[in-house]
Structure 1
């Protein structure tokens, strides 16, 4: 047990120290609440230690490697880059450790009490904290937030060994780059891994059961990513059913329905994550868990038990760290008696950090049509963007979906979907416009700096007024 005071009653107990959990602790403590966090591993959770942060750090390594490899195009002559994977992984860990130490210090400065152990909810709304050493203590609180997070889903017949069969947890512990890799699952995480490994020199095959990679992403953006992957030698196989594997002396052979077996050195299972609700001991507490393991909540993240909330990957909302932040703030506002507005999950920001990057907010074209809208769309390529030409990255598209008014003009902005250079850093203005339900006429007059990548968004908006400059 660490930092535990003699007093074991708190205004709020948070079970889980990942993004949703620590956000609740930091936001609530800033408002003067006395808060305890129960964490079985390290504060920061999957996102910091085995997810968002290490993944993006390795993707940045891939970006640097790719940039150096094309330096001669800028007149910068250098030998072909080589990768010191030991240094790569050491830098990854340094970034993680720096953020972990910063977060730990921030929690301490906010006087948040951190209990190291597994927290289980009791029927009387108290929390039993059990340490790996077999010690236990009971803490009580006026309110409890369940934020236990999630773990990678696995596939029968693919026993994770950390050497040949990996999940996202084990990828970040590799000591060498595998030569041939199969990524099972073509969602956001799978495409990030595939892009990173390919750029660093691995031969990569994506095996996706659905008809397209990046399900839920606008088809025009998906097509950009798929063309890029194909051009870089990534073998993308959609509609592919994985039957099993036959381990060999150094790698494994993956059996596929209707296709030749695939020999690889490593397999990354990237088929999503499951909520870690089974760690919370919820049976008999009154908290309802659905068949998939998600804790059931209402639009304010309230469980069936008064005074108990659930947030983050534990509930069936988008599994994004920033969504966990928003849910945490939503709950704390309720505890403080302030106005609490439910999260609009249909308009959250999505960012995928593969090459090319993907970012979007709001409805895709097909989703808008399915929702009953008549739409007007525009697509703006990066080839005419001066900043994109300057940095040598013109691959991608900015696509805008707007509601079509009865007179045929473009009205409310419904969605913005982008693929291309640094679009994850450009999404802000599009996210605000979508969430403020702005119309095309309202945002078209906004001036974009020149030269800048953001001009492509401005040009695309302007073109929906019926007039444009460069498109």
Structure 2
């Protein structure tokens, strides 16, 4: 029987453990915080649970456009709803804990051993597990998977204190409603928290070092999101770099590089992440790291050390739970001799859970504009969609990319409520190399938001020019 030892119980780790067990391996997982890792306990599950509450408030805020009023006839529906941050965060923490326990139960059912503690490589043939009580155990390993994730990056002069100066793992311990939340960083994490708290009716100041939010996203999508944020009253300080944050009475003050200061009740420092790759024996085992400290892997999750694989955010490949899980599965399929296909990032769909959401798959507008990919594209504004009109949706669009000659769909962007659900037909098209004609010929429900995807495909058949968005 093959001994498989996995360091890290997040999506990359626990999904790999399930596959390894299925293929007959003797599997041990070493996890220091709890099964599910950061994705379940402090990142994906809690943040999206918080966002679920904010989505309801967003609908309440816009309900008047649909003719809905409070029964009393005074004020607005939004004013009539009170956000209890203590209750919201209590639910968030409860859901995260329940999900972690569900994973633990599945591990037990599959006969997978779980050790609560720290793991480090002992060469390439064993892992040393150290429990939180200090006991050590040497675990022989024919196959080792490192899935240790990342942690929030900290600025030297803005150290989180867990009360007023916070990183994203600490946001769910707030029991009071922030008077004014300053969010430093306009990447995915910063944008999602800024959007969620603003929709909960809290004043938000977003400090962005770039010209617009989500600098790595589709440029058209980022501009729509920024316009939406500002149109709803969020303050965005573009091209502003934060250098420090300090406590000031019952609030905080954030210092900017140009000498300005921003005052608020709380500040979220969302300034990137650092891989958890130091002190676990990687260099000694011959595992190569990048300059950023991420583990270098190939498309089947192999590291430079024989028998050692890696998955998840610690590899720096694509910081998504879905990618981490697939990397872990691929590692086990490959190492245990099952059929396997290399990781293909062209088929990965991703989503930013802001309001509106932004979902993408395949090639990007940047690649097309730079001449790296030859493609035709068309944009269908959401405001032209019948279902969107019924729901009083004004912001967003559907964009489809296809190859010029064959019409094969190679990418897409959706900016809309629940874009995370709407991107799936485009993901299927990209993964299976469907043509725009095949997409256009499939039935859609009328009325539906997904109808705009089929309409875009029909227009690409005729070779129409790209629509104007604005």
Q: How does 1:383-402 map to 2 (within 5 A)?
A: 383-402=383-402
- Count of residues in correspondence between the two structures: 457
Q: C-alpha displacement at 1:44, in angstroms?
A: 0.4
Aligned twin of 1:5: none
Bigger shift: residues 263-272 or 12-21: 263-272
CA distance in 1, matches of 2:44, 2:119: 24
Instruction: State the SS of the aligned residue for 2:426.
Output: helix
Are the counterparts in 1 of residues 351 and 420 from structure 2 also a CA contact under 8 Å?
yes
The answer to whether residue 409 in structure 2 is matched with residue 413 in structure 1 is yes
Note the aligned Cα RMSD (angstroms): 1.9
Deviations 1:261-306, CA, capped at 9 Å, x for gaps: 2112111111221110114232321112222111122222111211
Equivalent residue runs for 1:43-122 within 5 Å: 43-78=35-70, 80-122=80-122
Q: Which segments of 5 or more consecutive residues in structure 1 lack a partner in the other structure?
A: 1-8
TM-score w.r.t. length of structure 1? 0.92
Match of 1:22 in 2: 14
Structure 1 range deviating more: 241-250 or 154-163: 241-250
Residue 387 of structure 1, CA deviation: 2.2
Distance between the aligned counterparts of 1:188 and 1:420, measured in 2?
16
Which structure 2 residues correspond to residues 199-214 of structure 1 after superposition, within 5 A?
199-214=199-214
Q: CA deviation at 1:435?
A: 2.4
Rounded Cα–Cα distance in structure 2 between residues aligned with 1:99 and 1:391: 33
CA distances 1:135-187 after superposition (whole Å, capped 9, x unpaired): 11111121110111111111120011011211111112111121112211111
Tell me by how many angstroms 1:375 deviates: 3.1
User: How far did 1:20 drift?
Assistant: 0.4
Q: Deviations over 1:420-462 (max 9, x none)?
A: 1211111111012122333323322122111222111111111
After TM superposition, list the pairs within 5 Å mapping 1:334-349 onto structure 2. 334-349=334-349
Provide the C-alpha distance between the structure 2 equivalents of 1:377 and 1:136, rounded to a whole number of angstroms.
58
Contact (CA 8 Å) 2:121, 2:280: kept in 1 or not?
yes
Q: Give the secondary structure class of the aligned counterpart of 1:341.
A: coil
Aligned to 1:317: 317
Measure, in 1, the Cα distance between the counterparts of 2:124 and 2:258: 55
**Contact 1:179 1:201 (8 Å CA) reproduced:** no
Alignment partners' CA distance in 1, 2:245 and 2:175: 23
Contact 1:245 1:252 in 2 (8 A): yes
Asked whether the 8 Å contact 2:86–2:174 carries over to 1, the reply is: no
Judge which range, 367-376 or 98-107, deviates more.
367-376
1:76 deviation in Å? 4.2
- Deviation digits for residues 12-68 of structure 1, max 9, x if unmatched? 111000010000011222233221100011000001010011101111101112223
CA contact (8 A) 2:375 2:402 kept: yes
What secondary structure, in the 3-state scheme, does the structure 2 residue paired with 1:111 have? coil
Task: Give TM-score scaled by structure 2 length.
Answer: 0.93
What is the 5 A alignment of 1:229-378?
A: 229-258=229-258, 260-378=260-378
Deviations 1:299-320 (A, max 9, x none): 2211121111011111120110
Distance 1:401 1:420 in 2: 18
Question: Are 2:27 and 1:35 equivalent residues in the alignment?
Answer: yes
Within 1, Cα distance between the matches of 2:458 and 2:279? Answer: 52
Shift, 1:72, TM fit: 4.3
Q: Which deviates more, 389-398 or 221-230? A: 389-398
2:449 aligned with 1:449, yes or no?
A: no
Give the equivalent residue in structure 1 for 2:73. Answer: none
1:110: Cα distance to partner?
A: 0.6
Structure 2 partner of 1:228? 228
- In the alignment, the residues of structure 2 paired with residue 126 and residue 104 of structure 1 have an alpha-carbon distance, to the nearest angstrom, of 24
Match of 1:218 in 2: 218
Distance 1:48 1:369, change over 3 A: same
Give how far 1:10 is off: 5.8
